[in-house]
Structure 1
Amino acid sequence: MSEKTTYYVLKEKAVPDVLLKVVAAKKLIEEKKCSVQEATEIIGISRSSFYKYKDDINPFHEDTKGKTVNVVIQLLDEPGILSRVLDEIAHFKVNILTIHQSVPVGGSASLTLSVKIPETGVDYADLVSAIENVEGVHYVKILARE
């Protein structure tokens, strides 16, 4: 089984400059619809640094109440695992907006979920950690927060 991901919350001054530049490049790409090449040149980092860290750094938004979080979950293709994942999600009282499971290949399947975080303020990092701890889950990755 793969190693579980640990999340940290850091003050901006503790984050290495290269990671802050990756965040800035991602923002440029999203807002200005420019290419990775253009964004990295403007920001002043290499494309290899961008690709190395792009999936590992995201800005932290304290106000996630009432927001939608999209995650992808890689899990074993065994009876009961999806049910255990959904039970774990139910404990957090989030609303599942969409759910899609791929056809299993090689003993694993991908599950993509969109969940609405309630106004009561569920910590989505706690939700992700709880899902990661379900036996049979390989990994959980946050795709987007809206």
Structure 2
Amino acid sequence: MADRYYAVREDLLPEGILKTEQVKELLRRGEAATVHEAAERAGLSRSAFYKYKDGVYLLEQAGRERIATLSLDLEHRSGVLSKVLGMLAACEGNVLTIHQSIPLQGLANVVVSLETSGLQGTLQDLIERLRDTEGVKKAAVVGRG
């Protein structure tokens, strides 16, 4: 059976669906650091959140950009790329592609395509955190789609 989508007025939705979106909003705004904290604040079990999270979103978010392309210049040192990828994962960014150039003069350019639909905080906040990371010499958004 193909996926089917419905636009449903908020007052008709079950409480679990509404609270799932509330949890996602707390995480997006950075008002909760973890799913556990956000779910607790919303009065929703984590298992219910994980059951609904990929199928619930506000209608106005349907058209928002969900993929960002980042360009990073990283020092050619062990662990720098790993640290960057760990930060992306910690912010709930989903890495779609990675391309790394051969290091020249101690720097390697890395281009990352990142799904941002579940990103905790804003994309600009993420870029600032990346710029403050040891070994990252440049971080910028070069495309959205």
TM-score by length of 1: 0.53
Alignment match, 1:136: 135
What's the C-alpha RMSD, in Å, of the aligned pairs? 2.3
Write the mapping of 1:34-113 to structure 2, written as runs, cut at 5 A. Answer: 67-113=66-112
Alignment match, 1:115: 114
Alignment match, 1:125: 124
CA deviation vs aligned residue, 1:83-141 (integer Å, no higher than 9, x gap): 11111111111111110111001110000000001256641111111111110110111
Structure with bigger gyration radius: 2
Does the Cα contact within 8 Å between 1:65 and 1:120 map onto a contact in 2?
A: no
Does the Cα contact within 8 Å between 2:91 and 2:120 map onto a contact in 1?
A: no
CA deviation vs aligned residue, 1:44-99 (integer Å, no higher than 9, x gap): xxxxxxxxxxxxxxxxxx99856100010001000010111111111111111110
Classify the secondary structure of the residue corresponding to 1:125: helix
CA deviation vs aligned residue, 1:20-62 (integer Å, no higher than 9, x gap): xxxxxxxxxxxxxxxxxxxxxxxxxxxxxxxxxxxxxxxxxx9
Gaps of 5+ in 2: 1-60
Does the Cα contact within 8 Å between 2:130 and 2:139 map onto a contact in 1?
A: yes
The one-letter code of the counterpart of 1:99 is I
Q: 1:137 to 1:112 in 2, by over 3 A?
A: same
Alignment match, 1:31: none
